[in-house]
Amino acid sequence: MKPSISIILPVYNEERRIRKSIERLLEYFKGTGWDFELIFVDDKSEDNTSLILNEYRLKEKNLEILIPPVHLGKGGSIIFAAFTYKHTSKDYVAFMDSDLAADPSELERLLEYVQDYDIVIGSRILRGELDPIKRPLQRSILSHLYSKLFRTLFRMPIQDPQCGFKLLKKGIIPKLFREIAITDFAFDTDLIVTAFSQSLLIKEVPINWAHGKFSKLDIAFEIQKMGIDLFSIWYHFHVLWQRGKISYPQKKGSIYGRFLFALLSQTNKIKERSVNPIFNEPLNTKLSNAIPSVKFS
């Protein structure tokens, strides 16, 4: 049977490369014969991205554009699409970066496992029989350091939680997405940890991936921001464990865990964000304003 799949692509100020990406996506998916839909979430772009998207929307029946009323970030855009566009009408939901750092054909690697797993994620660190990823040395170092810190904090066998190339079964989305709090670049990590806390089955698969020459990330800024996000996620799930709720497989009650929790409790940026019983209140507020018909608490 041909896959039935919704592909969500968050976009923000992508006029330089969005046309090339759309052409490649249409070429590939039309060639597969799959039952597909491309859902672009234009996250309040300030350039000509919207005009280019509309140009294709007028002539392509498999392409839809969503524009949230407020800027939501990458993760918020994905959640917005999942809950607004027919709750995604296909059997599977994928999301990927609009620069197509991973070509859409890489979905075939993920689809091989989706019958047996709830979530299948691409990996730039696991290589299997694939060639090593070529990217700047500083990016490689940061990626591996983030991977190491993630596995140290959460004790999970996932090498590349931040890869923005994932495939999910539609049925898990309502419960999973309602528990996610991080709406920007650490969204992928929050999704993985939340999925583990819900006992969902995750498979990590090596994929081909190309470093984007138009990368807009400020490395120093992202190190600080993603570090705060990563420790905030850990802190939140530790609080849930203390309250007797299902949590991730860390070493509960260890000296290491108690020390780290005490240390993070002194950090206002993390404590104020996570100690609140409604951890995802900021996301609830944003999305409730964007989607009045959906309750996120």
Q: Where are the domains of the chain?
A: 4-212
Q: Which residue has the tokens 């591996």?
A: 144
The Cα 161–Cα 133 span in angstroms is: 16
- For the entire predicted model, the pTM comes to 0.88
Query: Which 8-state DSSP code applies to residue 104?
Result: G
> What's the first-to-final CA gap in the chain, in angstroms?
37
Q: Which residues of the chain have pLDDT under 50?
A: 87, 275-279, 292-297
Q: Which helix (H) or strand (E) holds 206?
A: strand 202-206
Task: Please give the angle made by the CA atoms of 132, 24 and 94, to the nearest 5 degrees.
Answer: 70
Contact 33, 2 (CB under 8 A): yes
Length of the chain: 297
Contact 119, 172 (CB under 8 A): yes
The Cα 278–Cα 153 span in angstroms is: 22
CATH class of 4-212: alpha beta
The side-by-side arrangement of strands in the sheet containing 63-66 is: 63-66, 35-42, 4-11, 92-95, 166-169, 119-123, 202-206
How far is CA 162 from each of CA 69, 126, 143, 201, 268, rounded to the nearest angstrom? 26, 13, 9, 17, 25
Alpha helices (runs of H) in 16-104, residue ranges in sequence order: 18-32, 49-57, 73-84
pLDDT at position 294, please? 44
pLDDT at position 277, please? 40
Give the residue among 66, 97, 40 at the shortest CA–CA distance from 214.
Answer: 97
